[in-house]
A and B are shown apart, each in its own frame.
Chain A
């Protein structure tokens, strides 16, 4: 042991780092910050370290070439001993990192930690969030499969909507006219050099400010932050009721970080690596590309926005959101920190959480996407064909053959792009059905050109049968009057 101490002293006499490090880790923090709520920042840092190490390990085998990247991932999954595990660690690490960074941000927001004097810590944190999301997106591109290829196409389509410079932005992003070798090379450079370099630099600044300005004290309702008095009050608090960060608070960080690493490893072992899905061959168009989990909400938003609002929302939305986050500490840099006295802050977090999870859930189901194989894969439920006439059965054939089923469900199977048609005869009269089939409307294409009159007649005859037992079909009141020539029976609903 004495030898080790001697070697340590030899190094420290030259490096002179022991004293500043000891001072940093033992600096006094308010005792009430030794809470499980304060462990997310350090956990994010530890997962980042895991990503750094596993990223280097993957780079030992991965080939950043559009012609070979996919095969090198296959080699990692199947040929290289435990290559699948390192890929899984890196993939699950990225999911955990995004999640922990978001939870950390939410906690900082609810605890008012962005207020004076920690405005810049928050701003750097917002930039770190953007870089983390940037790493998630560029990482998805490096998993160079069908999803990555078409995901880049979506990115290019969004970029091309920028007025005036859209085309130039696309060429710069792709490194050429198409998604190809140059595209993967530059996303590799971004993912491996540019963004991680910036991340490391900004993490250092972020942590340095936490050390210099102190950990945010546990917010007490009624303890108001003012620029004039806060620094003195905080100093007084750490003196009166403080404890050295190590080990008083740091043990919880250590436990949580180890738990998170264990969870990442458990997910990696249990669920395995992500993809790669099909080969990045643009001539294989039988694919349904979907983004990774953390961009699913965006996929949903892009499907649900009215077309006219899409471009403004895509181009202005991110600017507004990022500006709002960056300006937050200047707009409410003082005042109440406790979430108990900040109902709007709590509601905002809840609203964002509910909105994001709703959109994510919707994107998992993707009701707006036609089921491309439903017309040939989902048969018409038998009970809908019982007792039908020849004309109606012919209509059922037309219904399947013309891919109506891709967008309309029957008996809970089929597409959800349009409404389910199990009870369409209750909603629409014969005339309305004909009009809808031929002219389209709402969100339905017009089929007038692709159906002969005989096919339309058969199809509508089949659709008119689709109603639950005991429910009357829709009827046109005025038509009943005309046909019955003013007879006294009520035309609608009475049958």
Chain B
């Protein structure tokens, strides 16, 4: 009982005051955290991905790989040119296409296509990929990121909207399914 005697009326109010502040701070923390994490929660709720047109399929010649650009489906008013995105479109034959992200699967630098040698080369750390996007050499552990494709009314559309990184949802599609590297073949010349 001696402990109770030590708590004065003002001391009790002080403690209640601190508790009150704690409750208000917690209540305020909820919307603040939601605000800060909104870019994550939005990606989980609606998703940033949608189907984007790259133009008429007929504009891409068979057997060639061309650079195409599209406006990211999710934009904000201050994005400027940064919402424009490039991708590599490979028309294998007929309606068969592959669309690769320009971002190297290693650390995201923009890869360039060299039609003469049939390779994508990365200027940063020397990653190289074959024409089908599979890994050829260098530090990447996988093939190029590949966008899902639909061809509707003669237009080629891809499912895009996120920066492709090894961890992103859009990166689940990979060019490694066709790892037709010649490593296992016997020399033929």
Contacts and interface: CB of A to CB of B under 8 A. Distances in A.
B29 interface: no
Interface string A387-414: 0000000000000011110110000000
Interface in B58-115: 67, 69, 72, 74-86, 102-103, 106-112, 114
Contacts of B118: 449-450
Contacts of A238: none
Contacts of A370: 121, 123, 126, 128
Nearest to B128: A445
B136 interface: yes
Interface stretch (B2-10, B16-24, B137-145, B151-159): B137-145
A183 B189 CA distance: 52
Contact of B78 (A185, A288, A440, A444): A185
Contacts of A75: none
B81 A67 contact: yes
Given A66-B78, A368-B126, A369-B125, A157 B106 contact: yes
Nearest to A286: B112
Interface in A293-337: 299, 302-303, 305, 307-308, 310
A283 B137 contact: no
Given A307-B139, A434-B187, A178 B82 contact: yes
B138 to A, nearest CB: 7
Given A177-B72, A438-B182, A446-B182, A65 B78 contact: yes
A369 B140 contact: no
Contact of B86 (A161, A171, A285): A285
A172 interface: yes
A372 B111 CA distance: 10
B12 interface: no
Given A176-B76, A177-B48, A372-B112, A157 B161 contact: no
B79 to A, nearest CB: 4
A179 B126 CA distance: 23
Interface residues of B, number: 65
A282 B169 contact: no
A178 B182 contact: no
B189 A372 contact: no
Contact of B182 (A168, A280, A449): A449
**Of residues B69, B85, B125, B130, which shows the largest number of chain A Cβ atoms within 10 Å of its Cβ?**
B125
A287 interface: yes
A96 interface: no
A403 B116 contact: yes
A131 B29 CA distance: 25
A179 B125 contact: no
A98 interface: no
B123 A180 contact: no
Interface in B17-76: 36-37, 39-40, 43, 48, 67, 69, 72, 74-76
Contacts of B182: 438-440, 446, 448-449
B26 to A, nearest CB: 22
Contacts of B119: 403, 445, 450
Contact of A171 (B39, B82, B123): B39
Contact of A150 (B48, B110, B161, B162): B110
B163 A170 contact: yes
A302 B76 contact: no
Contacts of A453: 188-189
B108 A150 contact: yes
A438 B187 contact: yes
Given A154-B109, A445-B119, A448-B188, A181 B76 contact: yes
A171 B40 contact: yes
Contacts of A407: 126
B116 A401 contact: yes
B165 A280 contact: no
Contact of A372 (B77, B106, B121): B121
Nearest to B74: A177
Interface string A2-38: 0000000000000000000000000000000000000
Given A368-B126, A369-B123, A281 B81 contact: yes
A310 B139 CA distance: 9
A176 B77 CA distance: 13
Given A402-B117, A403-B117, A440-B136, A179 B187 contact: no
A492 to B, nearest CB: 21
Contact of B108 (A156, A299, A403, A445): A156
Nearest to A290: B124
Given A180-B72, A439-B187, A67 B39 contact: no
B124 to A, nearest CB: 6
A157 B79 contact: no
Contacts of A456: 189
A156 B163 CA distance: 9
A153 B165 CA distance: 8
Interface string A356-374: 0000000000001110100
Interface of B: 36-37, 39-40, 43, 48, 67, 69, 72, 74-86, 102-103, 106-112, 114, 116-119, 121, 123-126, 128, 130-131, 136-141, 161-163, 165-169, 181-183, 185, 187-189
Given A177-B72, A182-B78, A282-B81, 9 more contacts: A176-B39, A176-B76, A178-B85, A182-B76, A280-B81, A369-B124, A370-B126, A439-B182, A456-B189
Query: What are the nearest 5 A-B pairs in CB distance?
Result: A67-B80, A181-B78, A166-B167, A160-B167, A445-B136
26 contacts: A67-B78, A150-B110, A153-B108, A157-B108, A159-B167, A161-B167, A167-B168, A168-B40, A170-B168, A175-B39, A177-B74, A178-B161, A181-B80, A281-B81, A282-B102, A282-B110, A287-B110, A370-B123, A370-B126, A403-B116, A434-B189, A438-B185, A439-B182, A440-B183, A448-B182, A448-B185
